[in-house]
Structure 1
Amino acid sequence: MIRIENISKQLSHRILFIETSAALNRGEKIGLVGPNGAGKTTVFRMIAGEEQPDEGQVSVEKGMTVGYFNQDVGEMSGRSAVAEVMDGAGPVSVVAAELRELESAMVDPDRLDEMDAIIERYGEVQARYEELDGYALEGRAREVLAGLSFSQEMMDGDVGKLSGGWKMRVALGRILLMRPDAMLLDEPSNHLDLESLIWLEQFLKGYEGALLMTSHDREFMNRIVNKIIEIDAGSLNTYSGNYEFYEQQRVLNEKQQQAQFERQQAMLAKEIKFIERFKARASHASQVQSRVKKLDKIDRVEPPKRRQTVSFEFAPAPRSGEDVVNLKGVHKAYGSRTIYDGLDFMIRRRERWCIMGVNGAGKSTLLKLATGATAPDQGTVALGASVKLGYFAQHAMDLLDGDSTILQWLEERFPKAGQAPLRALSGCFGFSGDDIDKRCRVLSGGEKARLVMAAMLFDPPNFLVLDEPTNHLDLDTKEMLIAALKQYEGTMLFVSHDRHFLAELSNRVLELTPEGVHRYDGGYTEYVARTGHEAPGLRS
């Protein structure tokens, strides 16, 4: 269906691909992986025809439809979310737009004199809409939006009033409704809550076309893909199986290549030793010449390319008292909407609570109450003795000084630390080399989030409160963070839509439901086993 043949590609002074090939066939669901900056988005853009390789070619089978979702959703306003999603469905969206215009015209008192012509045209357009199965399409558009957690009000409201994250969902919905022969999805799991993520997972499992996707959510990728294409040092390497199999296979391949390299090095050393020993003896001249020729013809085995892995170790956090935070009789409402009505909740030292709940259940509000970022309407919130709080929230990025470089900002926060440990810290969170001299104002949202988290963990609190800490983190950085937090001896309260993060780090679950608050001893894995669902409101 789609073939990438002997392509080479250079961006500025950076070589992305060197004479490499890959293919996407019918029915395949492929995960595209590689470190940040390896060229994943460039692969998508070349398949979509938005970029060309410097050498080689990317060919798409004639007549094949391709849907491409990326993070740049463009300007959206003036239409409903339903209309925007239907826009990807081709001719029917144009007819739908005219139908809505005529419906408005029919109730416009200023156009009464045109009413006969409007009604006649409305009949023609409505017939065409039915012919194109438009009413069924609108139903499917609403199903897709509901799966992505849109309320009916949001579906029919002006999409221009939505946040960037919700506009991303609209753009994703457009591609899903289109159901093209091949889907290219660049980070579709970003900006989705857990319920939407699980719905999208089921949708893509049932999708019969070819799929090429990237995702920073390993669990999401594991459950969908049956093949991995890895970008590594200019090559596209293909592995059959899901992401977990790819990880195991890559380690095995590296071990085999290392063993092969070492065997050949030992053999070469032996041959060179013989040549050096006997090259001056006439009696061994023919043997020496024979071995020299043999060495010239040998294909040299390269040692495996070591992928840079980063690790981060916490400095020991000071010990807190046994009671870390105590919420008693807490009431909290926003306008007429009650979020908590008499909540009692105690967190003790070394507990790791993950908060589960549908959109609007009050997950972030609970974190704000526990940290003192918001006050209860009634009741009390008390931090325990010797508690040192660290709170990571999405608005924490506002604390950055736009004029400072990354290094300057860290030095201002930790004037006694010295440059070496701060550079090492920056490298762990994806800022290596010259990146550390970037000014904070030019950082992307994801880079700002990583920098704020790095600063918080450099001087660790004994009570960590994290609101979606893995948003914008790539797979390697996420693994580094999980490994570091596993060693952390403090207390945690967090919200995340990443199931791998939830399973690895939680030892308690607080589930917020319309029926009330439910506590579960044991972490996320036990919660799934006991409730039979992966998120509140969903059934397995």
Structure 2
Amino acid sequence: MIRLDNISKQNGRQLLFIEASAALQKGEKIGLVGPNGAGKSTLFRMITGQEPPDEGLILVDRGITIGFFSQDVGEMSGRSAVAEVMDGAGDVSTIAAELRELEAAFTDPDRADEMDQLIERFGEVQARFEELGGYALEGKAREVLAGLSFSQAMMDGDVGALSGGWKMRVALARILLMRPDVMLLDEPSNHLDLESLIWLEQFLAQHEGALLLTSHDREFMNRIINKVIDIDGGSLTSYAGDYEFYEQQRAMAEKQQQAQFERQQAMLAKEIKFIERFKARASHAAQVQSRVKKLDKIERVEPPKRRQSVSFEFLPAQRSGDDVAALRGVHKSYGERVIYQGLDLLVRRRERCCVLGTNGAGKSTLLKLVTGATTPDAGSVALGGSVKLAYFAQHAMELLDGSRSVFESLEDEFPRANQGSLRALAGCFGFSGDEVDKPCRVLSGGEKARLVMARMLFDPPNFLVLDEPTNHLDMATKEMLIAALAQYEGTMLFVSHDRHFLAALSNRVLEVTPEGIHDYAGGYTEYVARTGQEAPGLHA
């Protein structure tokens, strides 16, 4: 369906692709992987014709429809979310717009004398709308939006009033409703809650068309894809199987290449030693010349390319009291909407509580109550003795001073720390070399999240409250964070839609429901086993 034939592409001084080739066949669901900046988004833009390759060809079969979802969703306003989603469905959306105009004309007194023509035209347009499955289309659009956690009011309200994250869901819904022959999805799992993520996973698993996607969610990838294309050092390498199998294959290939490299290096060293030893002896001249020629002809084995992986270790934090946070008789409402009524909750030392709940159930509100970011309408919230709290909230990234560099931002936070330790901290969170001099205003969402994390964790708290800490983080940073938090000896209260993160770190589950909080001892894996569901209201 799509073939990349010996493509080369340079971005500034960076060579992204060097005579790279790959193909997407009918029915394939491919995960596109590679380190940040390797060229994943550039590859999508080349396939969709937004950018040409410098050399080589991108061949797309005739008549193939391609739907492309990217993080840059553009402007949306002036119509409902349903109308915006249906607009992506081609001719039928144009006819739907004319139907709406005709319906409005019927009630316009200035056009009363045109009524016969309007009725005749309405009949023609309505017939064509039915022929194209228009009435079913609106139902399907609402079904897709509901799957992505939209309420009826949000579906029918002005799309311009939605936040950036919800607009991204509208843009994603357009592609899903379109059901193209090929879907190109660049980070579709960002900004989704757990329920929407699982719904999308099931939708894409059942989709009959081909799929090429990037995602930083390994569980999501594992359940959808049947092939991996790895971008590394300018080349494209294909692996059959899911993401987990790819990791195993890649590790095995690296191990084999390292062994070949070491064997060849040992052989070369032996030959060079012989040449050096006997090159001055006439009696060995023929043997020396023979070995020199042999060395010239040997194709050198390259050592395996190493993905740079960093690790972060917590400094020991001060021990807190056994009772870390206590909520007693807490009431909280937003206008007419009651979130908590008489909530009692105790978080104890070394607990790692993950908070689950449907969209709008009050997960983030619970975190805000505990951290003091919001106050209860009634009842009390108290932190225990010697508790030092750090709170990662989504808006924390917006509070970074755009004029300060990454390094200056760390210095501002820790004026007494020495430069070496701050540079080491920056390196742990993916800012090496000149990257520490980047001003905060040019940082991507992922870079901002990493910087906020670094500022939080350098002077270790003993109580971490995290609201979606893995949003925007790539897989390598996420793995580093999980490894660091697994060694962390403090207390955690967190919300996350990443099931790998939930399973690796939780030892208590708090499920927020309209009837109150259901408390489960044991982590997320035990919660799934006991309830038969991966998220509230959804079955595993």
**Shorter-chain TM-score: which interval?**
over 0.9
Q: Is 1:536 the counterpart of 2:536 in the alignment?
A: yes
Aligned position for 2:336: 336
RMSD: 1.2
**Kept after mapping to 1: 8 A contact 2:343/2:516:** no
CA distance in 2, matches of 1:472, 1:371: 23
Aligned position for 2:358: 358
Q: Is 1:150 the counterpart of 2:170 in the alignment?
A: no
- State the percentage of identical aligned residues: 79
- 1:228-261 CA-partner distances (Å, limit 9, x unpaired): 1111111111111111111111111111111111
How many positions carry a matched residue from both structures?
540
Aligned position for 2:471: 471
| 1:236 aligned counterpart, secondary structure | strand
The one-letter amino acid paired with 2:459 is: D
Cα shift at 1:372: 1.2
Question: How is 1:159-308 mapped onto 2 (pairs within 5 angstroms)?
Answer: 159-308=159-308
Return the TM-score normalized by structure 2: 0.98
Could you tell me which runs of 5 or more consecutive residues in structure 2 were left unpaired when the two chains were aligned.
none
Cα shift at 1:105: 1.9
CA distance in 2, matches of 1:25, 1:331: 55
The one-letter amino acid paired with 1:451 is: L
CA distance in 2, matches of 1:355, 1:79: 35
Aligned position for 1:382: 382
CA distance in 1, matches of 2:295, 2:398: 62
The one-letter amino acid paired with 2:295 is: L
The one-letter amino acid paired with 1:168 is: M
Cα shift at 1:417: 1.0
- 1:200-248 CA-partner distances (Å, limit 9, x unpaired): 0000100111110000111100111111111111111111111111111
**Kept after mapping to 1: 8 A contact 2:105/2:111:** yes
Cα shift at 1:373: 1.2
**Kept after mapping to 1: 8 A contact 2:467/2:496:** yes
Aligned position for 2:44: 44
| 1:466 aligned counterpart, secondary structure | strand
Question: How is 1:433-448 mapped onto 2 (pairs within 5 angstroms)?
Answer: 433-448=433-448
CA gap 1:431/1:106 in 2 versus in 1, 3 angstroms: farther
Cα shift at 1:69: 0.6
Identify the range of structure 1 (181-190 vs 398-407) with the bigger mean alpha-carbon deviation: 398-407
Aligned position for 2:462: 462
CA distance in 1, matches of 2:425, 2:101: 57
CA distance in 2, matches of 1:518, 1:424: 42
Could you tell me which runs of 5 or more consecutive residues in structure 1 were left unpaired when the two chains were aligned.
none
The one-letter amino acid paired with 1:234 is: G
- 1:162-192 CA-partner distances (Å, limit 9, x unpaired): 1111110111011111111111000000111
The one-letter amino acid paired with 2:328 is: K
CA distance in 2, matches of 1:538, 1:105: 44
- 1:476-514 CA-partner distances (Å, limit 9, x unpaired): 111111111111100000000000000001000001122
CA distance in 2, matches of 1:351, 1:104: 59
| 1:320 aligned counterpart, secondary structure | coil
| 2:190 aligned counterpart, secondary structure | coil
CA distance in 2, matches of 1:337, 1:110: 44
Cα shift at 1:407: 1.2
Aligned position for 2:64: 64
CA gap 1:108/1:433 in 2 versus in 1, 3 angstroms: farther
- 1:56-76 CA-partner distances (Å, limit 9, x unpaired): 111111111111110111111
Cα shift at 1:406: 1.6
CA distance in 2, matches of 1:425, 1:50: 38
CA gap 1:289/1:447 in 2 versus in 1, 3 angstroms: closer
| 1:285 aligned counterpart, secondary structure | helix
| 1:361 aligned counterpart, secondary structure | coil
Cα shift at 1:439: 1.9
Aligned position for 2:486: 486
**Kept after mapping to 1: 8 A contact 2:357/2:512:** yes
CA distance in 2, matches of 1:386, 1:31: 46
Identify the range of structure 1 (237-246 vs 280-289) with the bigger mean alpha-carbon deviation: 280-289
| 1:332 aligned counterpart, secondary structure | strand
- 1:98-119 CA-partner distances (Å, limit 9, x unpaired): 1111112222334333333222
Cα shift at 1:276: 2.2
| 2:417 aligned counterpart, secondary structure | coil
Return the TM-score normalized by structure 1: 0.98
- 1:65-106 CA-partner distances (Å, limit 9, x unpaired): 111110111111111111111111111010011111111222
- 1:402-443 CA-partner distances (Å, limit 9, x unpaired): 222221121111111122221222222232322222222333
Aligned position for 1:310: 310
**Kept after mapping to 1: 8 A contact 2:340/2:516:** no
Identify the range of structure 1 (17-26 vs 425-434) with the bigger mean alpha-carbon deviation: 425-434
Question: How is 1:394-405 mapped onto 2 (pairs within 5 angstroms)?
Answer: 394-405=394-405
Question: How is 1:399-414 mapped onto 2 (pairs within 5 angstroms)?
Answer: 399-414=399-414
The one-letter amino acid paired with 2:464 is: L
- 1:301-324 CA-partner distances (Å, limit 9, x unpaired): 111111111111111111100000
CA distance in 1, matches of 2:472, 2:519: 29
Aligned position for 2:115: 115
Cα shift at 1:352: 0.3
| 2:276 aligned counterpart, secondary structure | helix
Q: Is 1:3 the counterpart of 2:42 in the alignment?
A: no
| 1:309 aligned counterpart, secondary structure | coil
CA distance in 2, matches of 1:135, 1:227: 37
| 1:250 aligned counterpart, secondary structure | helix
Cα shift at 1:151: 1.0
**Kept after mapping to 1: 8 A contact 2:339/2:514:** no
| 2:126 aligned counterpart, secondary structure | helix
CA distance in 1, matches of 2:255, 2:109: 78
CA distance in 2, matches of 1:173, 1:67: 11
CA distance in 1, matches of 2:296, 2:448: 53
Cα shift at 1:20: 1.1
Identify the range of structure 1 (98-107 vs 62-71) with the bigger mean alpha-carbon deviation: 98-107
CA distance in 2, matches of 1:26, 1:401: 48
The one-letter amino acid paired with 2:339 is: I
CA distance in 1, matches of 2:451, 2:272: 51
